């Protein structure tokens, strides 16, 4: 399996994404934002960081990079794209995901582990997460409060597009358990066609026990699993 | 363009003495031009020349077989950590700029120290911040504190470097003159060390990074004066604004360029900007340098040569390139969309020649300004307060021993309370290396292959660099910064030793062998003999302790002239110490782990030979009685060494579950922290209780007479060289005999478990709900800031 | 020629910054404040003097880039 | 009554946001941009109708609290 990690100026979790994927034994390499080919990658990761310093608005400038055209095409053709933190913000700005991420209600940057409750297992990003499992994964952001219009929120619910919600250690979706004040405690969502995911927490930072959690691997393993399934299907067909 | 005429007033305004002016004329053999006067004034300022501290700094131990680049040689020292790997680290202050504009002052402080590290060819991998403010009850202090923390968060988070440790103290003494010391550490291979040298006659000199504006004009000079309302007002017009996004790009581009081998020398433009970087690189290489200011990218209109040379605009670098390899510079900097300009070349004249539109505006022997500044031996005199401090006796206070409330008071004291309000604003995890987060004795960071700067084969000019799959042998670095300013105020010599020893103890508790130190001397005006005495005594203490512990000083920073309009700061020599852990199984944290674990105390419960029994200068006296008085706890260096060896021996033996050193607030505070400081996730602490016995029978095991011990000294005294450790019950005996071999006092004092902290002493049983203690300790600063 | 753009959070979107500033103003003694909204101000200095075409171009920039229509409104003025 | 406050970085002070946005605008294809400055916009809705006293009060708030006079200028208008 080959992952492309898009590198924008000041993407700074790019290397961590590569580390996490390689740790699982798969291939990952950078793709420079000025390029317009994904070099045949199977999955695209838009990593965290502060692309363009997060000036103006988080993610606002990066989405005009040449590579984003290619990523949009890739997504339209059912390619799997996951945006983490700044990557989530970029995907929202690019219109690949609905809604927007605004400043944390505390007005402060927050770096800490949180608990996440998968809201659906029906997605390439959550399918291998064990039922009842809460994921312990860190967040590190100043602008992670998910906002969308009431109609959009309704659509997200109707279409089962909410992937992760912040919860406490017992799985309750309390206000206290959210580090940023997101609507419905939303931590991650997918698009209607379920191939594009955005999430504020950093699964790539929870990929081995020495980093305090391995729970992020469930998400990458879900992606790998669902891709190998489709790969098998095409293999059978051909 | 006409330049102002040089008058005695102008000379004085430049902070140069009449003798110094004579010396300038002697160097030049003529009157200086206005631009030259500016150049001398910044280069011979305290900040750049260390003219009043150099004789003292010479007494520091600076050698060890591990040192690859020593103190003072380059922008930062470098230490060998084995297997061809090395670390570069340094600390720097940004006190005065932060007093004027806390957010930008602190932010640019982070930017400056990160540049010092990648200038050495190292990839910066972590930052640490050591902060001092006035009392948190003061709203102006809260504004500064809030701004400083937000500024550090802004710069470090955006740059993408984890801020993994630090310290914060609140004390009246720092009101109006906060201390902001920032440390950065980077890693590299031995063959990747870069030098700040203008080598190779005829080599082109490049300027890279954003355009020059009038920011921080003569900031070095500003840092070299007492902080007054007037000096602050002057500086307001010229506040430097940090651009972490730019710095991230400059860093990546420089590391990529260094990998190509096209670079002959590289230096950041920090204090004294273009001036300092040009003359220092030439002086180090024994060459000369000539630059044309018209070619320097400029942001503000009509800048004069004087302004261009003295500007401290941020995120700029000077790069000397091997002739013929200019294209690589251009391609790489274009790839990162960074401005660059070729502004001059290396000469063989030994002179720094500055032209503006072809006309010479400065022509000075490079060494004369860079390394041959005047040196002064200042007068030192013991301050009058010292004798008063020494005569303090515990009988002078009306003692009231109420341990239940007093422990809570101590845990709520913002200098002791959890600093999560601070570090949760910092990204302390980015780059997947932080193994022990802020909140334990020392932070621990891992070094893996992707921490290293790129190698030639990783660079793919014009496109993304590759990340190698190459494995390196895993290593861990532990860092801690320490300094109890009250101790140093009360006894600069002992207090400074204590700072070094505490840093080393924090590392040992984390499983690390101390390697080296970078220090930040925050003191007052050196022309005041009493303040100079503090500095001199402090340096003597640091030097002695570092020598004893075999932790050479690899570099540091002096920030003098720290005083607010209200008065002096407490002298504060921040010690940042770095240690090495070679095996991941040796990484140790401070919190209690499991029910039933046995708790031992290594070290004497109380130093009974100290007349104040460890209460002098203690947080207890401050918090309960509001006094800062008495002699600080005694620092026995031999014991410190023994203790560290004992702990490390035990950790390496695999029998230790947790280790936490006793510092401010004494044994009771230390035990409480062991119960409450493990945070699993947001709003999810891992609380655990403990039952402690400190009655006569236990005290006797340390060969002490319980009757001679003050109860408050037992619980809250700050006797040094003590560590609380836990182990499985079956290992306790082994640990005791091990300690006996080292001849280090040790005894079992209790066991882990339950939901209460219970401490039995001869005066009674004291009992606290750990969840309540946690609540007080964890939320104290947030409450004060609300 | 100068373009001045004011970007404000949509009324339905929570504006914690505005709330905080309001609280702080009240705390230091300013009364009678009904609401505080915090937005952005962007000033663009232009070479050209052609108001009409500048306006058209910048309208697009405002909608596509300078503001995020999901959460923000903008107002553009050319001077 | 409404108070409108515009806060801009002082001209001499570096404005990394403005610079970066200028670069981005050029990149997207907007030409002829001489400079971009980015600041803050604050709108305060007031109960009172007394312009004069509101102005006086808010001037002080602008200087002391809403702007950072070290690096920013402000402009206050009451409407
Ligand atoms: N400004 C800060 N930034 C990051 N971490 C901090 C800061 N201040 C304190 N910490 C962390 O909080 C913990 C406790 O700090 P401190 O009370 O100074 O410990 P100690 O007494 O062991 O030196 C340490 O892990 C320290 O690194
Ligand atoms: Mg400690």
- Report how far residue B283's alpha carbon sits from residue B292's, in angstroms, rounded to the nearest whole number: 19
Contact B25/B16 with Cβ under 8 angstroms? no
Q: What does the pLDDT look like over A166-210, one tens digit per residue?
A: 999 999 999 999 999 999 999 999 999 999 999 999 999 999 999
Whether the CB of B131 sits within 6 Å of ligand 1 = yes
Token digits for A81?
């794209």
Following DSSP, what letter does each residue of A40-64 receive, concatenated?
T-SEEEE--B-GGGG-SSTTTTGGG
Interface test with A, best of C68, C72, C73, C74 (most A CBs within 10 A): C68
Topology of the domain comprising A2-233: Rossmann fold (3.40.50)
Among B147, B166, B440, which is best to mutate for testing ligand 1, by the most ligand atoms less than 8 A from CB?
B166
CB of A95 within 8 Å of a chain D CB? The answer is: no
D43 and C21: CB-CB below 8 Å? no
Question: Nearest chain B Cα to D24, which residue?
Answer: B337
Q: For chain B, give the percent of residues with pLDDT over 70.
A: 97
Mean pLDDT over each residue of chain A, to the nearest integer: 95
Structural domain tally of chain D?
A: 1
Domain range for D38 is 2-78
Q: What are phi and psi of D54, to 5 degrees?
A: -60, -45
What is the residue with the minimal CA distance to atom 2 of ligand 1?
A: B166
Question: Nearest chain D Cα to C47, which residue?
Answer: D32
Cα dist. B60→A151, B352, B374, B543 in Å? 68, 31, 20, 5
**Per-residue pLDDT for D12 more than 90?**
no
Q: What does the pLDDT look like over B531-589, one tens digit per residue?
A: 999 999 999 999 999 999 999 999 999 999 998 777 889 999 999 999 999 999 999 99
- Report how far residue B307's alpha carbon sits from residue B368's, in angstroms, rounded to the nearest whole number: 21
Q: What residues of chain B lie within 8 A of the CB of A110, using their CB?
A: 424-425
Interface test with D, best of B104, B108, B244, B273 (most D CBs within 10 A): B104
Closest ligand 1 atom to B163 CA: 4
Number of Cβ within 10 Å of residue B642's Cβ equals 18
Q: What does the pLDDT look like over B618-669, one tens digit per residue?
A: 999 999 999 999 999 999 999 999 999 999 999 999 999 999 999 999 999 9
Residue ranges, chain C, pLDDT below 50: none
- Report how far residue B420's alpha carbon sits from residue B438's, in angstroms, rounded to the nearest whole number: 8
- Report how far residue B110's alpha carbon sits from residue B97's, in angstroms, rounded to the nearest whole number: 12
**Residue B770: left if φ>0, alpha if ψ -120 to 50, beta else—which one?**
alpha
- Stretch A76-86: mean pLDDT, rounded? 97
Say how many Å lie between the first and final Cα of chain B, rounded.
Answer: 54
What confidence score (pLDDT) does residue A229 get?
A: 82
Contact B426/A109 with Cβ under 8 angstroms? yes
SS (H, E, C) B386-409: HHHHHCCCHHHCCCCCCHHHHHHH
State the nearest Cα–Cα gap between A127 and chain C, in angstroms.
Answer: 30
CB of D12 within 8 Å of a chain B CB? The answer is: yes
Cα of B83 from ligand 2 centre, angstroms? 30
Number of Cβ within 10 Å of residue B729's Cβ equals 11
**Per-residue pLDDT for B228 more than 80?**
no
Following DSSP, what letter does each residue of B7-59 receive, concatenated?
-HHHHHHTT--HHHHHHHHHHHTSPPPHHHHHHHHHHTSHHHH-TTTHHHHTT
Alpha helices in B447-516 (DSSP H): 485-490, 492-509
What confidence score (pLDDT) does residue C59 get?
A: 93
pLDDT-derived band of residue A103, with 50, 70 and 90 as boundaries? very high
- Helix and strand numbers (H, E) in chain B are 28, 30
What confidence score (pLDDT) does residue B628 get?
A: 96
State the nearest Cα–Cα gap between C35 and chain A, in angstroms.
Answer: 17
Q: What does the pLDDT look like over B292-328, one tens digit per residue?
A: 999 999 988 888 999 999 998 999 999 999 999 999 9
Cα of B696 from ligand 2 centre, angstroms? 27
Whether the CB of B507 sits within 6 Å of ligand 1 = no
Q: What residues of chain B lie within 8 A of the CB of D13, using their CB?
A: 215, 239, 241
The answer for residues whose C-beta is within 8 angstroms of residue B358's C-beta and 6 or more apart is B292
- Stretch A103-111: mean pLDDT, rounded? 96
Cα of A207 from ligand 2 centre, angstroms? 29
Following DSSP, what letter does each residue of B93-123 receive, concatenated?
E-HHHHHH-HHHHHHHHHHHHHHHHHTTTPE
Interface A:C, Cβ pairs < 8 A: 35
What confidence score (pLDDT) does residue B698 get?
A: 97
- Stretch B146-150: mean pLDDT, rounded? 97
Whether the CB of B443 sits within 6 Å of ligand 1 = yes
Alpha helices in B663-731 (DSSP H): 666-676, 696-701, 711-716
Q: What does the pLDDT look like over A119-173, one tens digit per residue?
A: 999 999 999 999 999 999 999 999 999 999 999 999 999 999 999 999 999 999 9
Instruction: Give ∠ CA B443-B492-B667 in degrees, rounded to 5.
Output: 50
Q: In chain A, which among 38-67 make CB contacts under 8 A with chain D?
A: 52-53, 55-56, 61, 64
Burial of B484 (0-12, 13-18, 19+ CB in 10 A): buried
**Per-residue pLDDT for B235 more than 70?**
no
SS3 call for A159: coil
What is the residue with the minimal CA distance to atom 16 of ligand 1?
A: B167
Burial of B218 (0-12, 13-18, 19+ CB in 10 A): buried
The answer for residues whose C-beta is within 8 angstroms of residue B391's C-beta and 6 or more apart is none
Alpha helices in chain D (DSSP H): 16-28, 51-61
What confidence score (pLDDT) does residue A184 get?
A: 97
* Cross-strand bridge partners of residue C42: C5, D38
- Report how far residue C3's alpha carbon sits from residue B445's, in angstroms, rounded to the nearest whole number: 49
Number of Cβ within 10 Å of residue B266's Cβ equals 26
- Report how far residue B608's alpha carbon sits from residue B606's, in angstroms, rounded to the nearest whole number: 6
What confidence score (pLDDT) does residue B460 get?
A: 83
The answer for residues whose C-beta is within 8 angstroms of residue A101's C-beta and 6 or more apart is A58, A59, A88, A89, A92, A143, A144, A145, A146, A147, A200
A103 and C12: CB-CB below 8 Å? no
Whether the CB of B167 sits within 6 Å of ligand 1 = yes
What is the residue with the minimal CA distance to atom 22 of ligand 1?
A: B441
**Per-residue pLDDT for D43 more than 90?**
yes
Token digits for B514?
């101390």
Instruction: With residue C18 as reference, give the H or E element that holds it.
Output: helix C16-27
- Report how far residue B153's alpha carbon sits from residue B570's, in angstroms, rounded to the nearest whole number: 26
What confidence score (pLDDT) does residue B317 get?
A: 96
D27 and A53: CB-CB below 8 Å? no
Cα of B415 from ligand 1 centre, angstroms? 10
Instruction: Give ∠ CA B215-B219-B220 in degrees, rounded to 5.
Output: 145
Contact B524/B531 with Cβ under 8 angstroms? yes
- Report how far residue B59's alpha carbon sits from residue B638's, in angstroms, rounded to the nearest whole number: 21
Closest ligand 1 atom to B416 CA: 17
Question: Nearest chain C Cα to D60, which residue?
Answer: C30
ipTM: 0.94
Q: In chain C, which among 2-61 make CB contacts under 8 A with chain D?
A: 6-8, 21, 24-25, 28, 30-48, 57, 61
> What CATH number does residue D41 fall under?
3.30.1280.10
What confidence score (pLDDT) does residue B224 get?
A: 63
Token digits for A221?
């393993």
The answer for residues whose C-beta is within 8 angstroms of residue A222's C-beta and 6 or more apart is A123, A124, A125, A126, A127, A128, A129
Active site residues of A: 85, 202, 204
Contact B88/B185 with Cβ under 8 angstroms? yes
Contact B769/B675 with Cβ under 8 angstroms? no
Closest ligand 1 atom to B149 CA: 1
What confidence score (pLDDT) does residue B225 get?
A: 67
Closest C-alpha to B555, from B57, B40, B41: B57
Token digits for B568?
């002096």
What is the residue with the minimal CA distance to atom 3 of ligand 1?
A: B166
What confidence score (pLDDT) does residue B301 get?
A: 85
What confidence score (pLDDT) does residue A234 get?
A: 67
Q: What does the pLDDT look like over B719-733, one tens digit per residue?
A: 999 999 999 999 999
Among B98, B162, B165, B443, which is best to mutate for testing ligand 1, by the most ligand atoms less than 8 A from CB?
B165
Nearest to A35 among B337, B463, B584 (CB): B463
Q: What does the pLDDT look like over B34-87, one tens digit per residue?
A: 999 999 999 998 888 889 999 999 999 999 999 999 998 888 999 999 999 999
**Per-residue pLDDT for B434 more than 90?**
yes
**Per-residue pLDDT for B763 more than 70?**
yes
**Per-residue pLDDT for B223 more than 80?**
no
SS3 call for A167: strand
Cα of B167 from ligand 1 centre, angstroms? 4
B248 and A10: CB-CB below 8 Å? yes
Is B47 labeled as catalytic in the residue annotation? Answer: yes
Instruction: Break chain D down into helix, strand, coil percent, rounded to 5.
Output: 35, 35, 25
Give the alpha-carbon dihedral of B335, A5, B159, B552, to 10 degrees.
-100
Instruction: With residue B475 as reference, give the H or E element that holds it.
Output: strand B475-482
Question: Nearest chain C Cα to D25, which residue?
Answer: C61
C68 and A57: CB-CB below 8 Å? yes
Token digits for B467?
């990340």
What confidence score (pLDDT) does residue B545 get?
A: 98
Contact A33/A8 with Cβ under 8 angstroms? yes
Nearest to D27 among A53, A56, A64 (CB): A64
Is B94 labeled as catalytic in the residue annotation? Answer: yes
Identify the structural domains of chain B with CATH numbers, from first to last: 1-62+194-373 (3.90.650.10), 384-785 (3.30.1330.10)
Nearest to A108 among B425, B448, B467 (CB): B425
What confidence score (pLDDT) does residue B221 get?
A: 62
Closest ligand 1 atom to B502 CA: 23
Closest C-alpha to B272, from B79, B450, B430, B38: B38
Q: What residues of chain D lie within 8 A of the CB of B237, using their CB?
A: 12
Number of Cβ within 10 Å of residue B9's Cβ equals 8
Whether the CB of B126 sits within 6 Å of ligand 1 = no
**Per-residue pLDDT for B1 more than 60?**
no
């Amino acid at each position: 399996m080959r992952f492309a990690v898009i590198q924008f100026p000041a993407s700074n979790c790019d290397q961590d994404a590569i580390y996490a994927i390689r740790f699982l034994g798969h291939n990952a390499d950078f793709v420079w934002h000025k390029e317009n080919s994904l070099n045949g990658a199977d999955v695209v990761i838009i990593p965290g960081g502060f692309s363009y310093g997060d000036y103006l608005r988080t993610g606002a400038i990066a989405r005009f990079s040449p590579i984003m055209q290619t990523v949009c095409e890739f997504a339209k053709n059912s390619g799997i794209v996951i945006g983490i933190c700044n990557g989530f913000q970029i995907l929202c700005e690019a219109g690949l995901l609905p809604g927007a991420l605004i400043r944390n209600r505390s007005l402060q940057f927050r770096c800490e582990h949180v608990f996440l409750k998968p809201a659906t297992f029906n997605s390439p990003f959550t399918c291998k997460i064990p039922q009842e499992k809460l994921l312990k994964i860190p967040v590190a952001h100043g602008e992670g409060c998910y906002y969308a219009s009431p109609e959009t929120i309704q659509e997200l619910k109707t279409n089962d597009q909410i992937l992760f919600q912040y919860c406490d250690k017992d799985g309750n979706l309390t206000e206290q358990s959210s580090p940023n004040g997101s609507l419905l405690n939303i931590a991650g969502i997918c698009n209607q066609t379920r191939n594009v995911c955005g999430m504020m927490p950093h699964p790539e930072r929870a990929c081995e026990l020495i980093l305090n959690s391995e729970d992020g691997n469930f998400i990458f393993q879900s992606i790998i699993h669902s891709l190998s399934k489709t790969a098998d299907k095409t293999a059978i067909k051909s | 363009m006409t330049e102002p005429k040089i008058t005695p007033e102008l000379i004085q305004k430049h902070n140069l003495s009449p003798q110094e002016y004579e010396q300038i004329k002697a160097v030049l053999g003529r009157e200086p031009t206005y631009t030259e006067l500016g150049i001398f004034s910044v280069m011979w300022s305290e900040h750049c020349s260390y003219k009043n501290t150099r004789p003292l700094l010479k007494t520091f131990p600076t050698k060890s077989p591990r040192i690859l680049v020593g103190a003072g040689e380059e922008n930062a020292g470098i230490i060998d950590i084995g297997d061809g790997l090395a670390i570069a680290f340094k600390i720097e202050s940004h006190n005065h700029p932060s007093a004027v504009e806390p957010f930008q002052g602190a932010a640019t402080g982070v930017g400056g120290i990160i540049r010092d590290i990648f200038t050495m060819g190292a990839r910066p991998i972590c930052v640490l911040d050591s902060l001092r403010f006035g009392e948190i009850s003061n709203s102006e202090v809260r504004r500064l504190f809030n701004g400083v923390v937000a500024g550090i968060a802004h710069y470090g988070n955006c740059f993408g470097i984890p801020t993994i440790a630090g310290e914060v103290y609140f004390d009246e003494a720092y009101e109006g003159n906060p201390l902001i010391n920032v440390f950065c550490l980077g890693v590299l291979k031995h063959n990747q060390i870069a030098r700040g040298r203008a080598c190779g006659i005829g080599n082109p000199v490049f300027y890279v990074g954003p355009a020059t504006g009038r920011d921080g004009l003569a900031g070095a000079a500003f840092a070299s004066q007492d902080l007054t309302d007037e000096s602050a007002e002057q500086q307001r017009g010229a506040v430097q604004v940090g651009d972490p996004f730019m710095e991230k790009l400059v860093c990546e581009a420089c590391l990529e360029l260094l990998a190509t081998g096209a670079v002959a020398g590289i230096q950041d433009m920090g204090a004294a900007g273009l001036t300092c970087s040009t003359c220092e690189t030439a002086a180090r290489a024994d060459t000369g340098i000539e630059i044309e200011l018209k070619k320097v990218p400029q942001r503000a209109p009509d800048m004069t040569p004087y302004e261009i040379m003295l500007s401290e605009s941020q995120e700029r670098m000077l790069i000397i390139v091997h002739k013929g390899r200019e294209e690589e510079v251009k391609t790489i900097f274009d790839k990162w969309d960074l401005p660059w300009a070729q502004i001059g070349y290396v000469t063989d004249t030994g002179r720094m020649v500055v032209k503006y539109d072809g006309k010479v505006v400065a022509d000075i022997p490079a060494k004369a300004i860079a390394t041959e500044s005047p040196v002064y031996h200042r007068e030192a005199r013991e301050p009058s307060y010292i004798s008063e401090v020494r005569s303090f006796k515990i009988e002078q206070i009306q003692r009231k021993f109420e341990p239940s409330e007093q422990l809570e008071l101590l845990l709520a004291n913002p200098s002791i309370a959890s600093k999560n309000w601070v570090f949760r604003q910092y990204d302390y995890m980015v780059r997947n290396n932080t193994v022990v987060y802020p909140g334990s004795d020392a932070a621990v960071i891992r070094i893996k292959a992707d921490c290293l700067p790129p190698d030639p084969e990783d660079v793919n000019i014009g496109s993304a660099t590759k990340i190698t799959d190459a494995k390196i042998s895993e290593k861990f670095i532990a860092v801690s910064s320490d300094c109890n300013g009250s101790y140093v105020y009360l006894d600069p010599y002992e207090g400074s030793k204590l700072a070094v020893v505490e840093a080393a103890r924090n590392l040992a508790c984390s499983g690390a062998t101390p390697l080296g130190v970078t220090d930040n001397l925050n003191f007052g005006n050196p022309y005041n003999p009493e303040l100079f005495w503090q500095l001199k005594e402090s340096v003597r203490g640091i030097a002695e302790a570092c020598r004893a512990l075999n932790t050479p000083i690899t570099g540091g920073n002096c920030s003098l002239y720290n005083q607010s309009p209200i008065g002096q700061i407490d002298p504060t020599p921040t010690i940042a110490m770095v240690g090495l852990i070679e095996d991941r199984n040796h990484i140790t944290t401070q919190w209690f782990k499991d029910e039933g674990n046995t708790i031992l105390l290594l070290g004497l419960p109380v130093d009974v030979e100290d007349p104040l029994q460890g209460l002098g200068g203690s947080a207890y006296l401050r918090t309960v009685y509001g006094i800062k008085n008495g002699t600080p706890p005694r620092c026995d260096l031999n014991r410190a060494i023994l203790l560290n060896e004992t702990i490390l021996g035990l950790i390496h033996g695999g029998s230790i579950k947790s280790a936490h050193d006793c510092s401010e607030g004494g044994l009771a505070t230390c035990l409480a922290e062991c119960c409450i400081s493990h945070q699993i996730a947001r709003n999810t602490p891992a609380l655990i209780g403990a039952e402690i016995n400190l009655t006569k029978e236990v005290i006797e095991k340390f060969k002490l007479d319980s009757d001679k011990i003050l109860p408050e000294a037992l619980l809250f005294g700050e006797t040094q060289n003590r560590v609380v450790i836990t182990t499985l019950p079956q290992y306790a005996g082994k640990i005791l005999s091990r300690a006996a071999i080292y001849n280090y006092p040790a005894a079992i004092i209790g066991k882990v478990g339950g939901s209460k902290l219970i401490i039995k002493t001869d005066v009674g049983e004291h009992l606290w709900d750990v969840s309540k203690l946690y609540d007080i300790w964890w939320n104290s600063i947030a409450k004060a800031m609300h | 020629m100068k373009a001045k753009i004011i970007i404000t959070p949509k009324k339905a979107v929570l504006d914690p910054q505005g709330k905080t500033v309001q609280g702080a103003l009240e705390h230091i003694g300013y009364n009678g404040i009904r609401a505080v909204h915090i937005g952005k101000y962007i000033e663009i200095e232009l070479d050209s003097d052609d108001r009409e075409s500048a306006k058209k171009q910048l309208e697009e920039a405002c909608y596509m880039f300078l503001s995020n229509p999901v959460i923000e409104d903008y107002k553009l003025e050319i001077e």
